[in-house]
Amino acid sequence: MLSMLLCVLYFGVLLGLSAYGLHRLHLVILCRMHRAKIARAQDVPALSDGDLPRVTVQLPLFNESTVAARLLDAVARMDYPADRLEIQVLDDSTDETQGLVRAHVERLRARGIDAVYLHRTDRVGYKAGALDAGLKVAKGELVAIFDADFIPQPGFVRSIVGHFQDPTIGMVQTRWGHLNRDVSILTQVQALMLDGHHLVENRARFGAGLLFNFSGTGGMWRKDAILEAGGWQHDTLTEDLDLSYRAQLAGYRFVYREDVVSPAELPEDISALRAQQYRWGKGTVQTARKLMATVLGAELSRAQRLEAFFHLTPHFAYPLLVLLSVLLLPALVLFPAADTLTMVAIDLPLCTATTGSLAAFYMLAETAQGRSRWGAIARLPMLIALGTGLAPHLSKAVFEGLRSMSGEFVRTPKQGDNKGRYRVRTDLPLTEAVLAVLSCGAVLASVQTGHYFATPFAVLFAVGYVYVAAMVAREQIARRREATSSAPAVWSDARPSDASVVGAWPRPATKERSLGDLAA
């Protein structure tokens, strides 16, 4: 009975993971089928200066002293009429970023640039709260948003503003570039993962007329689309995904532009990556809790509803992956090694549905940007290992998202020109260490019992858990030592103040303006 239960559970987990794998393969096919429509998105007519709409560029900041000046300089270089472009700095910072950015805004204003510095005395709603407060006083009918680590290119606004001549277009998302792609194997794998999201997922969904999302930065919204969808809400940690679905359910269409690229930083240490992925994972689950029933009951096509289900639930694969890691060792010990024919009939299709779909997915992401598909193949083992190593932490994010809405928005530390200025504090990776030991045992068991199809996966599991556990432990031990020194780093888990007024903006003594000034 125990063996039968283990068998059912083991293959049930494999089938669940295979379903998400086949979904990735489906997205690859959609990209191929709709490549003509995807390419046509670039054929947007250029507008004369007299026809250009007013645009507000919102820059939400929180303790970003290492990158804020770079961002402001990049936005100030945008090729757009000065009388039709507003730069809105939404600063929730609690450190020296306030003074640095305020002074920088003053210098831009002296050059005739319409730059506004707005500082909240609390962080109610975190990024969503700042965007919502700024939107209330934004001059533009269109709103572009950039996170602090981005460097928007001069032609960004002109390249996409023409899409909004169509009143049904609510948002245009552009592709993320990677400033530090080749710093380490960690950044290379992250770049590949994000390229898969942008160059396969976004392109496929856009081309097939399915729902997709604003990525939180590097895109432009129609202000009315935000307002008609209910505005920025902060009851989830992925306010961008939440608003995207509400806006599309309200009837607005989205456009994806792969040819417009905004470079940005990737986290260079594993602790920062885990914090970022945790927030995305928990927020996506929260958004699924909030909107799934509405989406499945909406007047959408069957394909749109099915894709929305997979789009809102991808992080459920991580608990399955952890469960597979736990079950692998007893399964290898208790189940006899199958003959070759059985392995080809059962194991090979499962491997193809998981690993094969990943290979096709990321090869397309590489070739879509003119890179060699073999680069994806070379980095695929480390991508699988890293995904496995992150699985326990992201499984916790899934359960937290199921248990509670909202939560603290822990920003991803930006390095800029001062690496080590901002850090992430996290727990030591005890779960990953235990799973590393189990996976190493599974490697030995797979060889001794003749389960050779399982050996590569057991090796990747072991490598992933060992890598993440070792890197996190090393970083956190080093940072705990730094915390006792005379000049500790600034931790990214700073708590908001106790101010109770949402959107309370202090009146400055200079040209910085408060909400009351702007509303008047």
Query: Digits of tens for pLDDT over the chain (520 positions)?
Result: 777 888 889 889 988 998 999 999 999 999 999 999 999 999 998 899 989 999 999 999 999 988 999 999 999 999 999 999 999 999 999 999 999 999 999 999 999 999 999 999 888 999 999 999 999 999 999 999 999 999 999 999 999 999 999 999 999 999 999 999 999 999 999 999 999 999 999 999 999 999 999 999 999 999 999 999 999 999 999 999 999 999 999 999 999 999 999 999 999 999 899 999 999 999 999 999 999 999 999 999 999 999 999 999 999 999 999 999 999 898 888 877 666 666 655 566 556 667 888 999 999 999 999 999 999 999 999 999 999 999 999 999 999 999 988 766 666 665 555 555 555 666 778 899 999 999 999 999 988 888 887 888 889 999 999 999 999 988 888 877 877 764 445 544 433 333 322 333 433 333 334 433 433 3
387 touches 321 (CB < 8 A) = yes
Please give the C-alpha separations between residue 335 and each of 82, 197, 331, 359, in angstroms, as whole numbers.
71, 37, 6, 29
Gap between the Cα atoms of 105 and 271, Å rounded: 32
Paired tokens of 14: 């494999």
95 touches 63 (CB < 8 A) = yes
Residue 156: its pLDDT value, please? Answer: 97
**Does 92 qualify as catalytic in the annotation?**
yes
**Secondary structure, 3-state, 83-125:** HHEEEEEEECCCCCHHHHHHHHHHHHHHCCCCEEEEECCCCCC
Gap between the Cα atoms of 412 and 276, Å rounded: 6
Residue type, 335: F
Residue 424: its pLDDT value, please? Answer: 61
Considering 91, 92, 132, 195, which one is annotated as catalytic?
Answer: 92
List of residues 6+ apart from 112 with CB closer than 8 A: 82
Gap between the Cα atoms of 13 and 322, Å rounded: 10
DSSP structure string for 125-173:
THHHHHHHHHHTT---SEEEE--TTB---TTHHHHHGGGGGSTTEEEEE
List of residues 6+ apart from 185 with CB closer than 8 A: 379, 382
230: left (phi over 0), alpha (psi -120 to 50) or beta: left
Q: What is the DSSP letter of 413?
A: P
Considering 149, 195, 240, 242, which one is annotated as catalytic?
Answer: 240
Gap between the Cα atoms of 450 and 118, Å rounded: 65
Gap between the Cα atoms of 494 and 160, Å rounded: 36
Q: Could you tell me the sign of the dihedral formed by the alpha carbons of 186, 192, 194, 196, in that order?
A: negative
Q: Which is it for strands 142-145 and 55-61: parallel, antiparallel or unpaired? A: parallel
Helix (H, G, I), strand (E, B) or coil at 337: coil
Residue 106's φ and ψ, nearest 5 degrees, are: -60, -40
Gap between the Cα atoms of 503 and 379, Å rounded: 45
Residue 494: its pLDDT value, please? Answer: 37
Q: Which is it for strands 169-178 and 219-222: parallel, antiparallel or unpaired? A: antiparallel
Which residue carries 């950015």 as its tokens? Answer: 101
72 touches 146 (CB < 8 A) = no
Rounding to the nearest 10 degrees, give the CA dihedral for residues 509, 130, 63, 89.
-50
Any idea what the Cα angle at residue 275 is, between residues 431 and 259, rounded to 5°? Answer: 130
Please give the C-alpha separations between residue 463 and each of 182, 315, 317, 383, 478, in angstroms, as whole numbers.
21, 21, 19, 11, 22
Among 279, 315, 313, smallest CA distance to 296 is for: 313
423 touches 488 (CB < 8 A) = no
Paired tokens of 71: 């961002």
Domain ranges for the chain, please list them.
Answer: 2-31+314-482
Please give the C-alpha separations between residue 211 and each of 182, 401, 405, in angstroms, as whole numbers.
32, 22, 23
DSSP structure string for 204-259:
HHHHTT------SSSEEEEHHHHHHTT----SSS-HHHHHHHHHHHTT-EEEEEEE
**Does 235 qualify as catalytic in the annotation?**
no
Gap between the Cα atoms of 209 and 459, Å rounded: 40
Residue 409: its pLDDT value, please? Answer: 63
